[in-house]
Every structure is written in structure tokens, then in C-alpha cells.
A and B are shown apart, each in its own frame.
Chain A
Amino acid sequence: MNKWIFISYVVFLTIFTLFSYLFVDGNLPYLQFLFTDFAFKNRLITTIAYSTLLSLFFGYYFYFIRLVQQKKLSMGNIRLLVIVTIGILLLAYPAMLSYDIFNYITTAKVTYFYHENPYIIMPIEFIHDPLLLFTHAANKIALYGPTWILFSGVPFFLGFGNFLLTLFLFKITAALSFFGVLFLYYKLHKDHMSLVLFAMNPLVLIETLVSGHNDMFVMFLVFLGIFFIQKNKFTGWLLFILSIGVKYATLFLFPIFLLSLFYKNLNKKSFFQLSAIMMFIIFLLSPLREEIYPWYAIWFLPFVFLSGRRLFIILTISLCFGLLLRYIPFMLLGTYLDPTPEIKIIVMVIPVFLAAVSYLLWLKKSFHYYQ
């Protein structure tokens, strides 16, 4: 790997991290000293900067994929890239694109500080609680399953009532889950390409290391389940059931786990392909609950990259780009109302459409070439 490209990547990640602090909420008393209101007052500049950074992120991603294709990226290089990426992005402001991490903390506070059932009592019922100033879904009961509610006690207690420490402990939880998934990913499928496709994917990195979404914790439990199911069926199934208890989405993997139990000839590739299809279906069904959120892609991404299907992978990467573009309408217009929902769909679909057309043209060209 070129030394200067690596240095430029480190600089890029640092700029991305600093950029995230332009989004610090004015209502967040713990980071008032970093509040500039820049992102909310200079929406056009912020949107252009975000789009540019996003394009650069994907540029580096394609570059790393190319290096793997050319067999110029060693395992040591990948390890270094992952550690550096985690180390830098972990420092980013987590509520740049989503406020979910505040929900995690607030729900944990309802459970472990107020000793109330978060499935019955909403955070908003604790009037004057300082977290209500910046928590966006305070008027909802717990959105996550019991596994997450139980586990969230760990970072919450380790935070010792210090908000910033707790906030970064939740991010560290996401980072550790990511690290765990990568370890198991390589253990299960010793392939550099699928590892880089997943580990360096901008959507995975932004949603896990910047925003600290718990979806990576779900995938960690799933992959740990897959890893154990070959050795100890009980532990494997238990971990899989625990993963369902975080966000319920992995319930869609139940038939695949069951199939692997009765159909011994099901190879790894078929297992991952079927899992990718099932998790993509639940991803598409997510608007039935609310809407397609970019981080939901984490449910199927690891399986798609393990499936080895070229078309799937191309469409998935373009979808990742499209999903991250979904943040742009709100960033630019500052409203969730019309036309934001329509623009969100358009910007999400266009990259997939362009990738599909390019792929078809490439296929057609190759067909003529061979004729």
C-alpha cells in the first residue's frame, strides 16, 4: 500500500471527524464549548462538504478494493487500516447524522437510574431530566429488545453518571462489536476481498463508528452464533436468539439456521446467500414500522459480501452510497416534511439505478466481445 495514500486516508478520517463536530446540538449542555451552529446555519456549504467527504470515502473504499484485487493489500495492511479507522472515527461526534445513541442512553437511564420499565414508561415522563433537551425520541417507549436493554446497563454503569463518558462508552460498544464481527468474519471465511468489502465500507464505518448504532452488536451476536453453532449447538442457538432480542430483525434468519440444522449439505456460500436474501427482505419491510434507515443495511451487508455474487455486491455498494445520500435532503432543507421524503427516495434509488445500467452495459459489451 502506498505510504502517501495511507497518510492522506488518515488526514481524510481526521477531517471527517472534525466535520462531525459542526453538527453539535445547541441543546447539548455537555458539549456547549464545541457548539458553533455552523451545520444548521450554513446548510448548503455543509451539504456540499458532506457530499464531497462521502465521495472521497467511497473513493478510498474502491481504492482499497482495487488493492486487494491486485493482491497489494496484505493482512497486516488491512489490520492497520481497521485499527486506524476505528481509532479516529471513534472520536467523531455521534449525533452528526442520527440521534439514536441518545435514545440508548436515555432508555438505559429509565431502566437503571429511575428503575422503571422502559417498555411502559417513556423518557419524557421524567420532566426536567437534562437528557430530554436533546433526545429526539423521548416520547416513545423502548424501541429495542430485552437483550439490548439488559446489555446497555454495562456502558451505562461504567459511565458512572458522566454523560460524555457514557456517550463514548456506547460508541466503544459499537466499535468492539465491529471488531468482533471482523474477527469472526475472517475466521469463518478466510478471504481478504470480502473482509475489505465489509470492513472498509463507508456505510458500515459511519453508522457503526460515528453514529454508534447497535446494529453491529446484533451482527456480532449473529456471527458469534454462526461460529458456535458448528461446535456447540446450544451456545450457537442461544446467541442467535439473543440477537433477535436486540432488534427483532434477525428473526428472519431463523429459517436459515433451522435449515442448516436439518440439511447438512448446506454449504457456507449457500448459507450466506440465503441469509443475505432474508435480511434484505426485512430491510425492505422496514418502512412498515417507520422508514428505511441507512444503518439497517448492516443487517444484510456482511452476508452479501460473503455471498461472492458479483451483481449483488455491485448493487449493494451503490445502495450504500444511496442510503448515505438520504441524509442530504434534511441536511440541506432542515425539515422532515415535503419534499424531504420524496428526495430521500430519489437520491437512494439513483445510484442503484446507475450501477444497474452500467452493469448491464458492461455485460452487453462483454457479450459482444466474446461473440
Chain B
Amino acid sequence: MKHSAFIFILLIVFWISSSTDTLAKSSYVLPYPSVMPGGLSYKVHLIWETINQYWYFGDFGQFEYNLKQSDKYLVEAKTLFEYEQFLLGVDSLKKSDEYFKKAPSHLRQAAKNHKDISIKQKELRTASERHVEVLSQMEKIFPEIIHWIPEKVAPTDLPLHSLLYSSIQIRSNYE
């Protein structure tokens, strides 16, 4: 009886556990907003980013890393602008620009190392088009200049349109 019960349970478990799953990959999309500046978790996030820079070794790895970071900071900038955190948003936008500028150089290096970069070039082009789309939307939504009055610090003028125009230029003329 003990043996019958054991075998019966074994067969049932066996039957249930036999299944398959599927894999899928979407086309190029910008990420959801990540951790926002201001808290301790953001500082941890920055450390994680630095570590990740080494994890993404190799020409393609570095290309992916810089493009991913550029995407992330662009989304961060847009979100901060929407919440009227313009000073922080401008910082994020500048970071996104810097990362974007670095991406093509890693592709050139990959080409020098005899790697076929045609797919990655296409990826960069699609990414730049999407970035320009988002930046153009931002240009329409947000005012040309923001007079920013932070606490305990002298007020500054933030030329948003000029910054956004410069970001668009970086993405349009990366080649």
C-alpha cells in the first residue's frame, strides 16, 4: 500500500511538471522611469550603475550600456520636467546626452575589431529617432526659459528649449 501510494504520487507529480514556456523579445522601447533623484536609494542606484559599467565589458557591451543609460536618463529628465523639478531634470538630460555621445564610439571600435555593426547601427538609429521624438514633444510642452528659484541658492534661468535643441542635435548628428 505504501509503495502504491508513493508510485501514484510520483506519477502525478511527473505528469504535472511536464510543460513548456515561450520566449519573446519586443522592438526598441524606452524604459519605465527608474529611481528618481533625492533619496538614499538613488545614491545606491548610482553605485550600481558604476558597477554595471564594468559588467558591460566589450565593444558591444559598452555600446549597450551607454545607450541604455542614455535612454534611462532621458526618461528621468522627462519625468522630472513633468513634476517641475527642472534643475534636476536638466542634469538628467545632460547625462543622457553624454551617454548618447559615447555610444557611437564603441560601435566604431567594434568595427575596428572586425565585428559586423550593421544591426547595432540600425539600433542606434532607431534609438536616436525615438529620443528625438520624445525631445520634440518636450519642446512643445515646456516653456522656453524657466526662472528657477531654488532654496538658499541664487536663482537661475534655465534655457530649456536651447538645451532640448542641443540634445536633438546630438542625436541627429552623431555620425
Pairwise interchain contact B119-A287, C-beta atoms closer than 8 A: no
B19 to chain A, nearest CB (A): 5
| Contact mask for chain A residues 111-154; partner B; CB cutoff 8 A; 1 contact, 0 none | 00011110111000111100000000001100000000000000
Pairwise interchain contact B19-A360, C-beta atoms closer than 8 A: no
A residues in contact with B140, CB < 8 Å: none
Q: Which one of B5-13, B35-43, B70-78, B81-89 is at the interface?
A: B5-13
Cα of A356 to Cα of B56 in the assembled complex, Å: 51
Pairwise interchain contact A287-B11, C-beta atoms closer than 8 A: no
B residues in contact with A114, CB < 8 Å: 58, 60, 113, 115
State whether the Cβ of B18 lies closer than 8 Å to any Cβ in chain A: yes
A232 to chain B, nearest CB (A): 33
B122 to chain A, nearest CB (A): 11
Cα of A125 to Cα of B20 in the assembled complex, Å: 26
Cα of A287 to Cα of B16 in the assembled complex, Å: 9
| Contact mask for chain B residues 34-75; partner A; CB cutoff 8 A; 1 contact, 0 none | 000000000000000000000111111100100000000000
B residues in contact with A289, CB < 8 Å: 21
Pairwise interchain contact A284-B17, C-beta atoms closer than 8 A: yes
B residues in contact with A291, CB < 8 Å: 18-20
B residues in contact with A117, CB < 8 Å: 55-58, 61
B4 to chain A, nearest CB (A): 6
B residues in contact with A179, CB < 8 Å: none
State whether the Cβ of A292 lies closer than 8 Å to any Cβ in chain B: yes
Cα of A119 to Cα of B64 in the assembled complex, Å: 12
Given known pairs A125-B119, A287-B18, A363-B3, the reply for A115 and B58 (CB within 8 Å) is yes
Given known pairs A115-B57, A121-B61, the reply for A345 and B18 (CB within 8 Å) is yes
Cα of A344 to Cα of B20 in the assembled complex, Å: 12
State whether the Cβ of A285 lies closer than 8 Å to any Cβ in chain B: yes
The contact of A140 among B6, B23, B60, by CB within 8 Å, is B23
A residues in contact with B118, CB < 8 Å: 127
A119 to chain B, nearest CB (A): 8
State whether the Cβ of A341 lies closer than 8 Å to any Cβ in chain B: yes
Given known pairs A120-B64, A349-B15, the reply for A287 and B58 (CB within 8 Å) is no
A residues in contact with B58, CB < 8 Å: 114-117, 121
Give residues 338-360 of A contacting B (CB, 8 Å): 341, 344-345, 348-349, 352-353, 356, 359-360
State whether the Cβ of B14 lies closer than 8 Å to any Cβ in chain A: yes
State whether the Cβ of B144 lies closer than 8 Å to any Cβ in chain A: no
A residues in contact with B120, CB < 8 Å: 125
Cα of A276 to Cα of B10 in the assembled complex, Å: 14
* Residue on B nearest A363 in the bound complex, by CB: B3
- Counting chain B residues whose Cβ lies within 8 A of the other chain, the interface size class is 20 to 34
Q: By CB atoms of chain A within 10 A, which of B3, B7, B57, B118 has the most?
A: B7
Pairwise interchain contact A128-B4, C-beta atoms closer than 8 A: no
A354 to chain B, nearest CB (A): 11
State whether the Cβ of A315 lies closer than 8 Å to any Cβ in chain B: yes
State whether the Cβ of B116 lies closer than 8 Å to any Cβ in chain A: yes
A311 to chain B, nearest CB (A): 7
B residues in contact with A353, CB < 8 Å: 11
B residues in contact with A125, CB < 8 Å: 60, 119-120
Cα of A176 to Cα of B142 in the assembled complex, Å: 67
Pairwise interchain contact A356-B57, C-beta atoms closer than 8 A: no
Cα of A306 to Cα of B10 in the assembled complex, Å: 20
The contact of B116 among A126, A139, A285, A348, by CB within 8 Å, is A126
Cα of A360 to Cα of B10 in the assembled complex, Å: 14
Cα of A128 to Cα of B114 in the assembled complex, Å: 11
B6 to chain A, nearest CB (A): 8
A residues in contact with B113, CB < 8 Å: 114-115
Pairwise interchain contact B17-A287, C-beta atoms closer than 8 A: yes
* Residue on A nearest B8 in the bound complex, by CB: A356
The contact of A292 among B18, B60, B61, by CB within 8 Å, is B18
Pairwise interchain contact B3-A360, C-beta atoms closer than 8 A: yes
Given known pairs A116-B57, A291-B20, the reply for A352 and B14 (CB within 8 Å) is yes
Pairwise interchain contact A315-B64, C-beta atoms closer than 8 A: no
Given known pairs A120-B56, A287-B17, the reply for A352 and B116 (CB within 8 Å) is no
The contact of A356 among B7, B18, B19, B55, by CB within 8 Å, is B7
20 further A-B contacts with Cβ under 8 Å, apart from A287-B18, A359-B7, are A114-B60, A115-B59, A116-B61, A117-B57, A119-B55, A120-B55, A140-B23, A287-B19, A290-B21, A292-B17, A292-B18, A311-B3, A315-B10, A341-B18, A345-B18, A348-B14, A349-B11, A352-B10, A356-B10, A356-B11
Please list 9 pairs of residues, one from A and one from B, whose beta carbons are closer than 8 Å in the complex, sorted by A's number: A120-B61, A125-B60, A125-B120, A284-B13, A286-B17, A287-B18, A292-B18, A315-B10, A341-B20
